[in-house]
Chain A
Amino acid sequence: MAITETKSDSFKTRGEFAEVLHHLVRDPLGLTGLIIVSLIFTAAIFADWIVPYDPIALNIKDRMQGPSMNHLMGTDQLGRDTLSRVIMGGRIALQVALPTIGGAITIGVLLGMIAGFGPRWLDNLIILFFDTVRSFPTVMFALAVVALVGPSLTTVIFVIMMTSIPTYGRVVRTQTLTLRNSEFILAERSMGASVGRILAVHILPNVLGPLAVLAAMDIPTVVGLEAGLSFLGMGVKPPTPSWGSILNDGYSLIRNTPWIIIAGGVPLILTTLGFTFLGEALRDVVDPKLRGRR
């Protein structure tokens, strides 16, 4: 009984992936999201080949030029090509977002499972930890850390990761708690399956869907936070081109070079829209109960 259960599970998962993709493409919102997200990933991966100019090379002769055929999005006060910086900025954004979310999911899943499967006191302790972390206003917390160790990419990743752990941990905990007492898990346990096996084989596959949805919805937040901190000068250090630092350059010369702000903001808005649309569509697919409500 246990063996057939596992088999059908993994079989189902493969079929489900194709089905999820099928549903996503049929939902206009999902398709839009998918296209935008693929474009962003492509641009970030092949950034070195796409950029028309070196994004950090100074060119004082061509400084503060408006959009033209040579510089599609103009240049900044140091003569750097804005388009090249924007494309490179996308790579930085993903370089921050992916490890941050990966780390937060890993720690969140671990803590959530421990809370859900462990003794009551441990559960309460972890929940209290989640509540505490959630009670920091993220940016304020980030600024407090930056104030001490100084701005850097690592600081940004660390802070955002810390504050996103509870989001994932809570979902995993709830799922673990409900599954823990379900019949098939009780049957497995009575047959002597180890807790680790149950967690890995039964509970993990069941939380993957909700986690994927959460991650897709969380990427905009993380990208926005990174850009925000860099905009404040508390994130990525110059001359590294982050969307946030591009916006900061544009902000200080808003009356002279307004195109920089526009060029730096559009990819940010597109990224957040793309991932949010994708996450929304994904949630409708993963959770059919919600589909009926739309």
Chain B
Amino acid sequence: MLKYVGKRLALAAVIAALSVTLLFIIIHLIPGDPARTMLGPRATPELIADLQLRMGLDQPLPVQILIFFGNMLSGDLGMDMFSNRPVATIVFEQLPHTLALIFASIIWSAVLGIFLGCFSAVRRNSLADRLTGVLAVSFIAAPAFVIALYSLLFFAVELRWFPAIGAGEPGDIGDQLWHLVLPSFAIGLSWVGYIARLVRASMLEIMGEGHIRTARAFGLPEKWITYRYALRLAILPTITVIGVGMGFLLSAAVFAEIVFARPGLGKLVIDSITTRNYPVVMGSVLVSTILFVASTTLSDIVNALLDPRIRQSS
């Protein structure tokens, strides 16, 4: 098991390092200069040269990457040139809001999705199964930010059931949860569909396997077989998908944060782009990339914990 975790962490580190490097290279390949971007169109060449020097942009690309990695490992994502605060501090101030939103979305969508998937699989090919299937596909197709806008319009602006903006009073957990309802509904909806379909498909596959036949041959109650024997296995691919889903949720969270004017990583990035605050943009993108890699790694490790076969095969 430890060996597996070690291997998986090493792979994650390689992927994270590679994606950061790739990001760096892409940014350098496309036309546009961070210093010029930050200073705007009316900057004098001297000012630009000065900022380039301060940001280390005069160095060759490999050196820049190495310096960047060195700084990153010591928790330094650079300085925000406007407020003179470290980028890392700014990003980590906003991160909890985004994480809260993502976890709230994962939890409600996983619970509902697993329930719907089981419901469908048990009633295979019935009318209820077909309707759930169409519903699941429709959920999957729903674009998160349109759902966000519609729920803002109907439930916050028109019906006034839920608050329209912000993340709630700091310290007041109830109020904060209340503010989470609409945003997490909006970005979790398509995951309900994904998870329902995935659970249904893997349930049906597992229900046809030999060990389920054994359980039936021993006269175990059908409910027992479904929920304790089959579901335990059927949930495993869902965990992997949730890990990958973090990436999509990070993207969707940007929209939810803008629509509901919530603080968070997405809002930080958009605001920083508008003020041309390039270091903060890069810092947030990096943190979210690493977050994504971390979550896929974590889901693989959780999977290994739950599935003794993976532990063995490593």
Q: Which residues of A contact B (CB under 8 A)?
A: 29, 128, 131-141, 143-150, 162, 220, 223-224, 227-228, 231-232, 234, 247, 250-251, 254-255, 258, 261-262, 265, 268-269, 272-273, 275-277, 280, 293-294
Q: Does B250 contact A135, Cβ atoms closer than 8 Å? A: no
Q: Does A258 contact B281, Cβ atoms closer than 8 Å? A: no
**Bound-state Cα–Cα, A58 to B294, Å:** 49
Q: Does B250 contact A145, Cβ atoms closer than 8 Å? A: no
Q: When the two chains form the complex, which single residue of B138, B254, B272, B276 contacts A273, counting CB atoms closer than 8 Å?
A: B138
Q: When the two chains form the complex, which single residue of B133, B150, B247, B285 contacts A265, counting CB atoms closer than 8 Å?
A: B150
Main secondary structure on A side of the interface with B:
helix
Residue-wise, chain B 149-160 has the 8 Å CB interface mask toward A (1 for contact) of: 110110001100
B215 → A minimal CB distance (Å): 21
Chain B residues near A150 (CB, 8 Å)? 32
Chain A residues near B26 (CB, 8 Å)? 145, 162
Q: Does A143 contact B254, Cβ atoms closer than 8 Å? A: yes
B295 → A minimal CB distance (Å): 10
Q: Which residues of B contact A (CB under 8 A)?
A: 14-16, 18-19, 22-23, 26-27, 30-32, 34, 37, 125, 133-134, 137-138, 140-146, 149-150, 152-153, 157-158, 201, 204-205, 247-248, 250-252, 254-255, 258-259, 265-266, 269-270, 272-273, 276, 278, 281-282, 284-285, 288-289, 292-293, 296
Q: Does B285 contact A143, Cβ atoms closer than 8 Å? A: yes
Q: Does A135 contact B273, Cβ atoms closer than 8 Å? A: no
Q: Does B292 contact A147, Cβ atoms closer than 8 Å? A: no
**Bound-state Cα–Cα, A65 to B30, Å:** 43
Top-6 shortest CB links A-B: A139-B251, A224-B143, A276-B141, A148-B32, A137-B250, A272-B141
Q: Does B142 contact A272, Cβ atoms closer than 8 Å? A: yes
Q: List 12 A-B contacts (CB under 8 A).
A: A29-B137, A136-B247, A137-B250, A139-B254, A141-B289, A144-B27, A147-B269, A147-B276, A234-B270, A254-B153, A276-B137, A276-B140
Chain A residues near B205 (CB, 8 Å)? 293
A257 → B minimal CB distance (Å): 11
Q: Does A135 contact B149, Cβ atoms closer than 8 Å? A: no
**Bound-state Cα–Cα, A240 to B132, Å:** 38
Q: When the two chains form the complex, which single residue of B19, B30, B140 contacts A149, counting CB atoms closer than 8 Å?
A: B30
